[in-house]
Amino acid sequence: MSAQRVFAVLLYLYPNDYSALFAGEMIIAFQQGCNEHRIQGRAPFVRFVIAELAGLIIRMPAEWIAKLTTDTSTRGRALPDLRKMRPAGVPYELWFAAAGMNYRQTSLPLEVAQAQERVTFLMNAMVHAINNHDFQAARSYSYEEYRQRDKVELLKKKYGLEQ
């Protein structure tokens, strides 16, 4: 098994989002390093490979700890959320048409469905803020949610959906 292959296999053991973003670049950087050290002789090449593989193994728990302890919103700024990525081969139009399916499946008018979605979003944001002990933000989400619920009620009245 070549050094590159071992390196690539070790990268599979890293968190999914991390390897999805960096694996390609890391393999290229490792290959460039290998090529450079191979010219210098066998001993520097072996030393380089051992140090790189050991470094990769040592960093692995740190990356898992970072994944498990970092807030998803913070991590999502840099690393892709694989669950939200459009799978290969699925056309752009089809993927985003499917994203709007919830609105079409319900019998509610679009305006009401969107307002209800907003209530759910605000509730989740409030719970998230409470979990992070950010009570000021939680209060503002709670106030916004209260207003949004009133809006839903008004919209239901408008469309005759009070029952």
Partner 1 sequence: MRHVEKQPDVTKTKPLTEPVVFILLSLADEPRHGYALMKDIEALSGGRVRLRTGTLYGALRRLLEEAWIERFQQSDTSREKQAYRLTSFGRKQLQLELDRMKQLTRAASSRLKTREV
Q: Which residues bind partner 1 (CB under 8 A)?
A: 18, 21-22, 24-30, 32-33, 51-52, 55-56, 58-60, 62-63, 66, 70, 74-75, 77-79
Q: How far is the CB of 88 from partner 1 (least distance, A)?
A: 13
Q: How far is the CB of 74 from partner 1 (least distance, A)?
A: 6
**CA distance linking residue 80 with residue 18, whole number of Å:** 8
Phi, psi for 147 (deg, rounded to 5): -65, -40
Which lies closer to partner 1 via its Cβ, residue 75 or residue 118?
A: 75
Which lies closer to partner 1 via its Cβ, residue 82 or residue 98?
A: 82
Which lies closer to partner 1 via its Cβ, residue 80 or residue 100?
A: 80
Q: How far is the CB of 33 from partner 1 (least distance, A)?
A: 7
Q: Which amino acid, one-letter code, is at 39?
A: I
Q: Is residue 7 classed exposed, middle or buried when 0-12, 13-18 and 19+ CB atoms within 10 A define those classes?
A: buried
Q: How far is the CB of 114 from partner 1 (least distance, A)?
A: 30
- How many C-beta atoms surround the C-beta of residue 80 within 10 A? 13
Is the Cβ–Cβ distance between 111 and 155 less than 8 Å?
yes
